[in-house]
Amino acid sequence: MQSGSQTGTTGINDVVSIERQGPIALVILNNPPVNAASHAVRSGIWKAIETLASDADVWVIALYGEGRTFIAGADIREFGKPPQNPWLPDLCNFIEDCKTPIVCVLHGTTLGGGFEVALASHVRAALPGTRIGLPEVTLGILPGAGGTQRAPRLAGMRASLDLITSGKPISADQAIEIGLVDRIEKGAPRDVAVKVAQDVLDGRQGTRRTYDLDVDTDPAALTAMRDKLAKTQPLLFSPHKCVDAVEASPLARDEGLKEERRLFNECMESPQRAGLIHAFFAERAVAKIPEATATPRAIAKIGVIGGGTMGSGIATACLLSGFAVTMTERDQAGLDRGISTIGANLEGAVKRGKLSEDARDNILTDKLSTATDLGALSDADIIIEAVFEDMGVKRDIFETLDKVAKPGAVLASNTSYLDIDQIAAVTRRPEDVVGLHFFSPAHIMRLMEIVVAGKTSPDAVATGFALAKKLKKIAVRSGVCDGFIGNRIMTFYKKAADYMMMDGASPEEIDTAITGFGFAMGPYQVADLAGLDISWAANKRRAATRPAAERYIPIADEICEKGWFGRKTGQGFYIYDADGTRPNPAALEIIDAERAKAGVSPRTFSPDEIVSRFVTAMILEATRVLEEGIALRPVDIDAVFLFGYGFPRFRGGPMHTADQIGTAELVRRIETYSQEDSTYWQVPALLRKLAEGGGTFAAMNES
C-alpha cells in the first residue's frame, strides 16, 4: 500500500484508495473515464473492505467514485478473456456480508455492475441527476452480479422486470420512488459519502442487507412481460433470459445467484452478445479518424440551402441543438413549405417530450431566419446544401457560395451519390468543401456520413465530426465514390434482391425473409418508403455508363411509369390505404410480364436462400468499399449499416456478420452464385486473401 500523507489517503492499488475520517472510512475509486469495474477495481475494493472490516476503529465504510460517474458497469473489454478473481458477483456478496455497514454513493451514470455493487451495499445515496440502470440487455446479456435477484427485493418483480428487460436508465427520483435507492443528497460524492456515513453513525440513517428482504412472486407481471417480449423482441435472446432470472429471485441467495449465473453464461455464449458488444464499440470507434487531431472550426451560425425533405430536416436538427439557422430557397413558396415542415418537425419533438412549447416558439422566432438569396449566408460558419440531386444545380450553387461565403466557412453538400471533388472544383477553396450526408428524417436518424474529398482539409473534416457530435449523431468518415459507403453498398445488394424477384421470389417473400433476419424493413418496403422515383432517376443517370454485360431488372421503372412512386402516391410494390398495407396485385402483374418477356421460368426461393444472397451481396460490395479505401475500417461499414440502414444490431453489422459466416464460406457462396451470373458475382481480391490466409475483418479493425 502507498501512503499519501498530505491527504491521508492510502493507495490500495492504482485505482482504489482508502481514507480515514475517525470512525468513517472512505473507499475511493478512480478508474477514468467511467470507473468501469475492471479487475483492478474489483480487487482493490475487495482488499479495501477486507482491511477496513478487520479494523475495530472503523464503524462505517462509504464507497464513492471520483470523476464523472460512479461505476458505469463491468469492464466490457474484459468479456471473452479468462476471468480473474475476484468476480463481481463474489465481490457483491462480500460487500453484502460485511459486518461493518457500507454506504454507496451513486452519481453520473451508475449502471450495470456498478448498480449491482450499490444494490449489495447497506445504504444507497444518489446525487440529484444520477442515471441509474441495468443496461446489460442492450449488450446481449443480463445483470450477472446479483442485479436480477436483489432489485426485486427492493422494487418488486414488476418494476425490476421493466428496468432489466428495457435496459433503460431511470432518474434518481424514479429510483427512490420504486425503492431502489434510499435517499437523494446534493453535493460532491465525497461530501455525500461523509454525510451519509455520519448519519449511519448517529443512528439517523438505518442500514439493511438487501438479501434479508423477501420477494413476492408476481406471476401476472412475469406472464405480461413474457407476452410483451414474444411480440416485440421475438428475435432477441437475452431479454427472455432476464425474465427467467427475475423469476428465480424468490429463491435463497445461493440458489438464486446460481440460476442467474447459469442464464448469464448462456447469454455470454450467444452470438448476439458478440454482435451487440461490437455495435457498442462501433459507435465509439468511428470517431477515431486521421483528422481527429485537427482543431475543428467554431460553429455558431449554420446556413441550409433548400427547404425540401432534407433541408428542413437538417435545419430542424441544427435548431434542436441550439444553433442559429438561416435557410434559403428558390422562392417564398419554397420557404413557406420549408418553414411549415420545420414547424411540424418541432411539433413532433414537443409531442415526444423532447422540447417545451416555449422553447419551440423561441426557436422559430429567435433562431430561424430565411431568405431567397444566397447572400444571406455570408455570416454562416458552415453552409449545408440540400437542393435537387443534380450536378449542374449543385455546381451553380457552389460557384455562388464561393463568392458569398465568409473566408473559413465550411461548404458542405448533402448529396446522396454525387462526386464531391467535382462540386469542390468549381470553388477557389476546395479545402473547405466536404460532404455531410444526413439520412432521412434528418432530425431523427443518427447516422451522418462525412465525405472527404481529395482536397478537403483536416480541420474541415474535424468540423464535420464536431457538428455531428453537437447534433448527437454518429459520424462515419467516407471517401468519394458513387453513393459513398452506404448508398453504394445498398445499390449493389438491391440488385441481388431484384434478381431474386425476377427469378421467382415475390417482393413480399423477400421483405419477409429480410425482416426475419432482423432488418427493420425489407428492400421493397424501403424502396416504397424512400420513393421509387428516386432510384428511377438514379437508374436513368447511370444508364449511359451501365456495362452491357450487367443484368438489368426494369420492374421498378415500369411501376414508376404508371406514376406509382410508393407510399407517397398510395402504391408501389405495396398498396397503402385505409385498409392497411398489402402487396400490390398490379405490381405482381408487372413482375409476371417482365419475367415472361425475359423468358424466365420462376423458381422458389427459401427464406434462407434469400437472406444468404442478400447478405452475401452486401458483404461483397462492402469488401470492395474497404479495398478501395472508401471506408477506413470494417467497423465503419458496420456503423453505417447499424445506424443508417436498419441492420439488426444484434448481428453487429455486415462485416461482423461476415466473420461469423466465415470468409471461406462467403467465397464458396459467391463462386456458386457466379455460375448463374459471373458479371455480378465476383469474389473481391481482399475476401479471397482473407479466406486463404484465415484472416478476419475483425483483425483489420485493430491494425
Where does this chain bind ligand 3HC (CB under 6 A)? 33-34, 36, 72-77, 88, 109, 111-113, 116, 135-136, 139, 143-145, 147, 284
Q: Say which entry of ligand 3HC, ligand NAI, none residue 33 contacts (CB below 5 to 8 A, set by partner kind).
A: ligand 3HC
Residue with the three cell numbers 417480449: 229
The answer to whether the CB of 42 falls within 8 A of the CB of 87 is yes
Q: What is the largest CA-CA distance in the chain?
A: 92
Cα 236 to Cα 464: distance, rounded to the nearest angstrom = 35
Q: Say which entry of ligand 3HC, ligand NAI, none residue 208 contacts (CB below 5 to 8 A, set by partner kind).
A: none
Q: Say which entry of ligand 3HC, ligand NAI, none residue 306 contacts (CB below 5 to 8 A, set by partner kind).
A: ligand NAI
User: Which residue lies nearer to ligand 3HC by CB, 266 or 557?
Assistant: 266
User: Which residue lies nearer to ligand NAI by CB, 178 or 335?
Assistant: 335
The answer to whether the CB of 437 falls within 8 A of the CB of 411 is no
The least distance separating ligand NAI from the CB of residue 140, rounded to whole angstroms, comes to 31
The percent of the chain in helix, strand and coil, each rounded to the nearest 5, is 50, 15, 35
User: Which residue lies nearer to ligand 3HC by CB, 285 or 501?
Assistant: 285
Q: Which amino acid is at 678?
A: S
Cα 484 to Cα 447: distance, rounded to the nearest angstrom = 13
The answer to whether the CB of 405 falls within 8 A of the CB of 377 is yes
Task: Give every CB contact of residue 9 below 8 A, 6+ residues apart in sequence.
Answer: 17, 18, 19, 28
The least distance separating ligand NAI from the CB of residue 648, rounded to whole angstroms, comes to 21
Q: Say which entry of ligand NAI, ligand 3HC, none residue 618 contacts (CB below 5 to 8 A, set by partner kind).
A: none
Q: How many other CB atoms are found less than 10 A from the CB of residue 669? A: 20
User: Which residue lies nearer to ligand NAI by CB, 136 or 329?
Assistant: 329
Q: Say which entry of ligand 3HC, ligand NAI, none residue 328 contacts (CB below 5 to 8 A, set by partner kind).
A: ligand NAI
Report residue 424: phi and psi, to 5°.
-65, -30
Cα 74 to Cα 116: distance, rounded to the nearest angstrom = 10
The least distance separating ligand NAI from the CB of residue 624, rounded to whole angstroms, comes to 22
The least distance separating ligand 3HC from the CB of residue 287, rounded to whole angstroms, comes to 7
The least distance separating ligand 3HC from the CB of residue 37, rounded to whole angstroms, comes to 7
User: Which residue lies nearer to ligand NAI by CB, 208 or 330?
Assistant: 330
The least distance separating ligand NAI from the CB of residue 563, rounded to whole angstroms, comes to 17
The least distance separating ligand 3HC from the CB of residue 690, rounded to whole angstroms, comes to 26
83 prior amide bond cis, ω within 30: no
Closest CA to 48 of 98, 87, 89: 98
CA angle 669, 670, 671 (to 5 degrees): 90
The least distance separating ligand NAI from the CB of residue 543, rounded to whole angstroms, comes to 18
User: Using N-to-C axis directions, what is the helix angle for 219-232 and 147-166, rounded to 10°?
Assistant: 40
User: Which residue lies nearer to ligand NAI by CB, 260 or 449?
Assistant: 449
The answer to whether the CB of 134 falls within 8 A of the CB of 112 is yes
The answer to whether the CB of 681 falls within 8 A of the CB of 620 is yes
User: Which residue lies nearer to ligand 3HC by CB, 83 or 234?
Assistant: 83
User: Which residue lies nearer to ligand NAI by CB, 65 or 307?
Assistant: 307
Residue with the three cell numbers 476503529: 57
User: Which residue lies nearer to ligand NAI by CB, 91 or 305?
Assistant: 305
- For residue 46, how many C-alpha atoms fall within 13 Å in the half-sphere facing its CB? 17
Q: Say which entry of ligand NAI, ligand 3HC, none residue 34 contacts (CB below 5 to 8 A, set by partner kind).
A: ligand 3HC
The least distance separating ligand NAI from the CB of residue 397, rounded to whole angstroms, comes to 5
C-alpha 110: how far from chain center: 20
The least distance separating ligand 3HC from the CB of residue 217, rounded to whole angstroms, comes to 23
Q: Say which entry of ligand 3HC, ligand NAI, none residue 507 contacts (CB below 5 to 8 A, set by partner kind).
A: none
The least distance separating ligand NAI from the CB of residue 423, rounded to whole angstroms, comes to 11
Q: Say which entry of ligand 3HC, ligand NAI, none residue 144 contacts (CB below 5 to 8 A, set by partner kind).
A: ligand 3HC
Q: Say which entry of ligand 3HC, ligand NAI, none residue 423 contacts (CB below 5 to 8 A, set by partner kind).
A: none
Encode 469-485: b = buried (16+ Cβ within 10 Å), e = exposed.
eebebbbbbbbbbebbb
Q: Say which entry of ligand 3HC, ligand NAI, none residue 86 contacts (CB below 5 to 8 A, set by partner kind).
A: none
Residue with the three cell numbers 440488385: 495
The least distance separating ligand 3HC from the CB of residue 370, rounded to whole angstroms, comes to 34
User: Which residue lies nearer to ligand NAI by CB, 47 or 541?
Assistant: 541
Q: Say which entry of ligand NAI, ligand 3HC, none residue 387 contacts (CB below 5 to 8 A, set by partner kind).
A: ligand NAI
Q: Say which entry of ligand NAI, ligand 3HC, none residue 415 contacts (CB below 5 to 8 A, set by partner kind).
A: ligand NAI
The answer to whether the CB of 43 falls within 8 A of the CB of 34 is no
User: Which residue lies nearer to ligand 3HC by CB, 238 or 663?
Assistant: 238
In the three-class reduction of DSSP (H, G, I as helix; E, B as strand; rest coil), residue 66 is classed as: coil
Cα 672 to Cα 682: distance, rounded to the nearest angstrom = 10
The least distance separating ligand 3HC from the CB of residue 70, rounded to whole angstroms, comes to 10
Q: How many other CB atoms are found less than 10 A from the CB of residue 388? A: 11
- For residue 642, how many C-alpha atoms fall within 13 Å in the half-sphere facing its CB? 30
* Residue nearest ligand NAI (C-beta atom): 308
User: Which residue lies nearer to ligand 3HC by CB, 27 or 139?
Assistant: 139
* Site of interaction with ligand NAI (CB under 6 A): 305-311, 328-330, 334, 386-389, 393, 397, 414-416, 438-440, 530
Task: Specify the pairing of strand 123-126 against strand 410-413.
Answer: unpaired
User: Which residue lies nearer to ligand NAI by CB, 397 or 618?
Assistant: 397
Task: Give every CB contact of residue 637 below 8 A, 6+ residues apart in sequence.
Answer: 485, 489, 622, 625, 626, 631, 653, 654, 655
Q: Say which entry of ligand 3HC, ligand NAI, none residue 181 contacts (CB below 5 to 8 A, set by partner kind).
A: none
Cα 541 to Cα 491: distance, rounded to the nearest angstrom = 13
